[in-house]
Amino acid sequence: MSDFYDDLETRSSEQRETALFTKLTAQIEHAKRSAPAFAETLAGIDAATVTNRAALAQLPILRKTELIERQKNQPVFGGLTGISPPQLGQIFASPGPIFEPGSTRPDFWRFSRALYAAGFRRGEILHNCFSYHFTPAGMMFEAGARELGCATVPAGVGQTDLQVETMAHIKPQGYVGTPSFLKLILDKADELGTDLSCLKKALVSGEYLPPSLRDAMAERGIAVRQCYATADLGLIAYESETLEGMIVDEGIILEIVRPGTGDPVDEGEVGELVVTNLNPDYPLIRFATGDLSAILPGCSPCGRTNQRIKGWMGRADQTTKIRGMFVHPEQVAAILKRHSELQRGRLIVTRENDQDAMCLQVESTGTASSELRDAVVSSIRELTKMRGTVEFAAPDSLPNDGKVIDDQRSIE
């Protein structure tokens, strides 16, 4: 049996880029025809010219806040999809509130690839402890398992006694759910003296997986893999047996951009994950997840050749209230763009003499002159409506952690 789900996983980077951007051209045209919101935002875009990442980076970013606002003004999906029954299979309601479509398209969220990489195979049974209530998580894994040829136990969350009893009777080979709930189930099984040695594999998501917990599961004979996904986009990336980063799914185009902008950063630099979904039923183009990550160099030792990311590294939305006014990462980016001598910047927020204070640390490629300092100070005041100081730093000296606003004020 193959180590890979299909031949897409071992394509050369050139083959992959050509195929992805051929699909993207068609996706942009489809989105403009079928989704009123994209007909508006992409009105001046010639899809035939979006043939590479540089061209993609010129398209507007779609942020979750905009998605929420559009859905308020144009129920249910804000004009971002033209899908309707019978192709529309479900309408989910996630916190926000944000409404997401479920499609009758097989493996709509593309989870079969991640399940395969986690060791699940046709004919097996998996115990699904993601919620089936309102949010799409349970159905995401359900659809992927069905495509893979696995049966599921739609267990949902809670009721650990019943979870243990059901597992002991059905004896599933694998588990999907959060890592912490897997531990609760196994702890309850130990307490009840119930044998759950049937479990050999798990695909977890939705929260941090501590290395200690992964190791503890391995000692019990359970190989645990992670995947990263969102309710809007479906699968974004997943782990393989080598556990060296997360491999990007074959059905998306992933970018890492500087928080507050749509500008791609260099490989290895931490920034915000932006994803273009090639699913025609919900064609999200340059959707900003609000999550931080970074591209890892090279390919996975497992043989899969797509990009890899480090995984979830925090949130990109660092909006901070200073002296009673909100300062956004977009404002910091606007300050930097005004001055060609500046590279990266980091706004440090502190308390001095019972007053909020802010200092913009900037990497400068030129001479840190008093004239440049005064010009940047002026830009700070004009764009934030507040006074701030400036500190110059050498190129590439600021921390590579994706932070644009670093709030160092004590909450005590």
Mean pLDDT of 80-87: 93
Q: Tell me: do 336 and 276 sit in the same domain.
A: no
CATH classification of the domain holding 396: 3.30.300.30
Q: Tell me: do 334 and 391 sit in the same domain.
A: yes
Q: Tell me: do 305 and 324 sit in the same domain.
A: no
Residues 6+ away with beta carbon under 8 Å from 95? none
Structural domain includes residue 22: yes
Last residue of a domain, one of 309, 334, 363: 309
Q: Which tokens go with 187? A: 């702890």
Q: Tell me: do 115 and 73 sit in the same domain.
A: yes
For β-strands 201-204 and 174-177, DSSP reports them as parallel
Average pLDDT, the chain: 93
Over residues 103-139, the pLDDT tens digits come to 999 999 999 999 999 999 999 999 999 999 999 999 9
- Whether 130 and 138 have beta carbons less than 8 Å apart is answered as yes
Structural domain includes residue 383: yes
- Whether 342 and 363 have beta carbons less than 8 Å apart is answered as yes
Structural domain includes residue 315: no
Cα separation of 309 and 266, whole Å?
Answer: 13
Structural domain includes residue 393: yes
3-state secondary structure of 215: helix
CATH classification of the domain holding 58: 3.40.50.12780
What CA dihedral angle connects 267, 65, 111 and 226, to 10 degrees?
60
Q: Tell me: do 226 and 144 sit in the same domain.
A: yes
Last residue of a domain, one of 309, 342, 372: 309
Q: Tell me: do 290 and 332 sit in the same domain.
A: no
Q: Which tokens go with 310? A: 């480090």
User: Hey, how many other C-beta atoms are within 10 angstroms of the C-beta on 182?
Assistant: 23
Q: Tell me: do 78 and 211 sit in the same domain.
A: yes
Asked if residue 86 has a cis previous peptide bond (ω within 30° of 0), the answer is: yes
Over residues 23-81, the pLDDT tens digits come to 999 999 999 999 999 999 999 999 999 999 999 999 999 998 899 999 999 999 999 99
Whole domain around residue 12: which residue ranges? 7-309
Number of domains comprising the chain? 2
pTM summary value: 0.85
Structural domain includes residue 263: yes
Q: Which residue has the tokens 């928080």?
A: 259
Last residue of a domain, one of 309, 334, 357: 309
